Amino acid sequence: MSSAPRILLVDDTPENLDVLSGILEDLDCELLVATSGERALELAARRLPELILLDVMMPDMNGFEVCTRLKADLATTEIPIIFVTARTDDISQGFRVGGADYITKPINTDEVRARVRYQLERQAMVAELKSFNRELETKVRERTAELTIANRQLREEINERRYMQDRLNYLATHDFVTRLHNRNALEAHVSELLARIQIENLSATFLLIDIDRFRLINESCGCIAGDELLRQFADSVSGLLARTDFFARLGGDRFVVVTEGDGSDNGVELAQSILKHLEQFNFQWEDRQFKLAASIATLPLTRTIVSYDQVMLAADEVIFVAKRDARGAVFSLEEATKRSDLHKENINWASRLVDALQNQLFRAYFQLLEYFPAANNQAEPIYRLEVLLRLWDPQAQRMVSPGEFIGPAERLQLIPELDKWMINHVLALFARNPRLLERMDLISINLSAISIRESQLAQFIINCFKQHNLPANKFCFEITETQAIVNIDSARQFMQTLRDFGCHFALDDFGSGFASYAYLHQLAFDKIKIDGIFVRDMDTDPSHYAMIKSIIEMAASLDKEVIAEFVETAEVARQLHALGVQWGQGYHHHKPEELNYQALEQRLA
């Protein structure tokens, strides 16, 4: 707890001292009194008051001389002095000798208190600022010492004075755990390097390093052990790098080295030396010991690459193949292409999908569903359709099936953008053709479980319906289970919001996993779509027939409508109808075609 501020009152007239003391007694201050200049100098040097109220006219030594001597002493030079005088001529001289303020006689109570409070507050702020600066200087010195030990690259670049000036910038561009450059600094460095490559004869290589089995250590020993592993890994790899190499932590267990040299072979050699070095690296935590390995993607930076995003998308694609096919190895883009199960042109899905979104290369197809009770020759046909996503490849001049690009889109977290594109595209089409919408019973649109994690998706969909002025009860969203719904509460809120708005929901690929059954009880699905893997050969596989029969019986008990996909033969359609399935979908009924007014009009004619 801080002590009360001290105020020294200096006046050779006791009555004046009594008046000032009475005025200041309610300010919670410690008052010191001196009746002469010599006594004032002694008290000021010994007690160091926060403020001095100094009378000008005193017999032995006037106030101006007292002030001059106080200001000449280093111990008292910063103490603010308020002159107390009845002569206006004294004011300017008081400021010349170092006075901070003045009080005129006869003394005004409010004036005295206001001027004293101001000087005390100002003095307290100055003291607090000095204390803060001292603490900051101490912290800066300590932090600089740590950085000198942990990162020999920064040791040569940073000295104490520059660190103080650039501290905020440093914290914004460095990783807290490893003290390496962070993602922001990496993006700035790579972007600047790519710009130089465009105009200079410069060779550089981008190395993406992914630590293998980091999650095992993190979860078995705890996050503190995981952080220590990252620090030791960063320190160990730093010793292999040249001063000009740029080393950064991308996040999680991923690191990046950007090296400049005579050719891409230098980057490969560096990557191989890192792997060889890690063979001797052992991480010990308490009584456990772990061997460390990594997978490394190498990507030469050439003039064909113009952005940081393009670099990261390509490197991420290579590291994905590396970790899938052969952990603990160095992979180039060419090598990853050879090992990939995909067509050679499909290795760089990341940049292809980004370009497709920007260049409007996605297409909406549709497939009509068959209403099985149609055999009863109802008076009016009932039409339903599912909208399907396709991708046009302008180079190969072919349509790419979802089986090729949906997986990469989900892995790269681009699937929400595709889902939003499809929703807006379909609603816009039917808004332009309201007569076609009137003839439709239901239009189904797929949503990935990844997409519904976005907190604003429900509002986005509602806004689309309002923008196009379409009835929500004409549309059904099919939630696919390619990735499990990770947050049941948020999924429930998402679905309930749209159900309250009028939309329907179907659980797609039902039966393919145990999660499907749990979802039916926890989420607001009103339709079940049987996984086509059971439907396709139910007429020849008794186990699949039995599976479908049990799903239909369960759905009936829960009052859920059933749809069967992959209906490819008349016999399968007949058996589904006999089991009580209402809707069938597959090539037997309709092969998908591009969604447009003419195609729909022809099909509904």
Domain extent listing, the chain: 6-129, 174-347, 350-604
Name which of 178-192, 357-371, 374-388 the model is least confident about. Answer: 374-388
Nearest CA to 255 among 303, 292, 282, 285?
292
Place of tokens 């099919």: 478
Tally DSSP H helices, then E strands, for the chain. Answer: 24, 22
Residue of higher predicted confidence among 357 and 256: 256
Q: How far apart are CA 581 and CA 569, in angstroms?
A: 15
Please tell me the predicted confidence (pLDDT) of residue 26: 84
Name which of 99-113, 209-223, 415-429 the model is least confident about. Answer: 209-223
Could you tell me the two tokens for 375?
């055999």
pLDDT value at 581 more than 60: yes
Architecture per CATH, 6-129 = 3-Layer(aba) Sandwich (3.40)
Q: What is the band of 488 on the pLDDT scale with cuts at 50, 70, 90?
A: confident
Beta-bridge partners for 429: none
Helices in 76-176 by DSSP H: which ranges?
89-96, 109-150, 152-157, 160-173
Q: What dihedral angle (degrees, nearest 10) is formed by the CA atoms of 164, 167, 169, 172?
A: 170
Architecture per CATH, 350-604 = Alpha-Beta Barrel (3.20)
Q: How far apart are CA 374 and CA 582, in angstroms?
A: 9
Please tell me the predicted confidence (pLDDT) of residue 344: 44
pLDDT tens-digit readout, 390-426: 999 888 888 988 877 887 787 777 889 999 999 999 9
Q: What is the band of 451 on the pLDDT scale with cuts at 50, 70, 90?
A: confident
Residues 6+ apart with CB under 8 A from 295: 209, 210, 212, 319, 322, 323, 326, 327, 328, 329, 331
Name which of 267-281, 381-395, 477-491 the model is least confident about. Answer: 477-491
Please tell me the predicted confidence (pLDDT) of residue 1: 39
Cis peptide upstream of residue 106 (ω within 30 degrees of 0): yes
Could you tell me the two tokens for 5?
């501020």
pLDDT tens-digit readout, 64-105: 999 999 999 999 999 999 999 888 777 888 889 999 888 988
pLDDT value at 53 more than 90: yes
pLDDT tens-digit readout, 497-536: 999 999 999 988 887 655 567 777 788 889 999 988 889 9
Please tell me the predicted confidence (pLDDT) of residue 92: 85
pLDDT (mean) for 100-129: 88
Q: Which helix (H) or strand (E) holds 438?
A: helix 434-439
Name which of 54-63, 199-208, 273-282, 468-477 the model is least confident about. Answer: 273-282
DSSP 340-394: -SS-GGGTTHHHHHHHHHHTT-EEEEEEEEEEGGGGG--SS--EEEEEEEEEEET
Please tell me the predicted confidence (pLDDT) of residue 478: 93
pLDDT (mean) for 128-148: 82
pLDDT value at 114 more than 80: yes
Q: What is the percent of the chain with per-residue pLDDT over 70, rounded to a whole number?
A: 88
Q: How far apart are CA 253 and CA 367, in angstroms?
A: 44
pLDDT (mean) for 238-259: 90
Could you tell me the two tokens for 510?
């039902």
Q: Class for domain 174-347, per CATH?
A: alpha beta
pLDDT (mean) for 469-489: 81
Q: How far apart are CA 406 and CA 480, in angstroms?
A: 11
Q: How far apart are CA 324 and CA 318, in angstroms?
A: 10
Please tell me the predicted confidence (pLDDT) of residue 200: 86
Name which of 87-96, 231-240, 327-336 the model is least confident about. Answer: 327-336
Name which of 25-34, 85-94, 240-249, 574-583 the model is least confident about. Answer: 85-94
Q: What is the percent of the chain with per-residue pLDDT over 90, rounded to a whole number?
A: 35
For the beta sheet containing 81-85, the strands, ordered from the edge strand earlier in sequence to the opposite edge, are 30-34, 6-10, 51-55, 81-85, 101-104
Q: What is the band of 460 on the pLDDT scale with cuts at 50, 70, 90?
A: very high
Could you tell me the two tokens for 556?
């009936």
pLDDT tens-digit readout, 286-298: 777 777 778 888 9
Q: How far apart are CA 84 and CA 15, in angstroms?
A: 14
**Long-range contacts from 593-597, C-beta under 8 angstroms, 24+ separation:** 593/365, 593/366, 594/363, 594/364, 594/365, 594/366, 594/390, 595/363, 595/364, 595/365, 595/366, 595/387, 595/426, 595/429, 596/429, 597/429, 597/432, 597/433, 597/436
Nearest CA to 317 among 295, 342, 347, 346?
347
pLDDT value at 54 more than 50: yes
The pTM (predicted TM-score) of the whole model is: 0.52
pLDDT value at 29 more than 80: yes
Taking CA atoms, 498 is separated from 16, 429, 505, in Å, by 81, 21, 9
Could you tell me the two tokens for 332?
């180039």
pLDDT tens-digit readout, 589-603: 999 999 998 989 888
Please tell me the predicted confidence (pLDDT) of residue 487: 73
pLDDT tens-digit readout, 338-370: 665 544 444 567 778 888 888 889 999 999 998
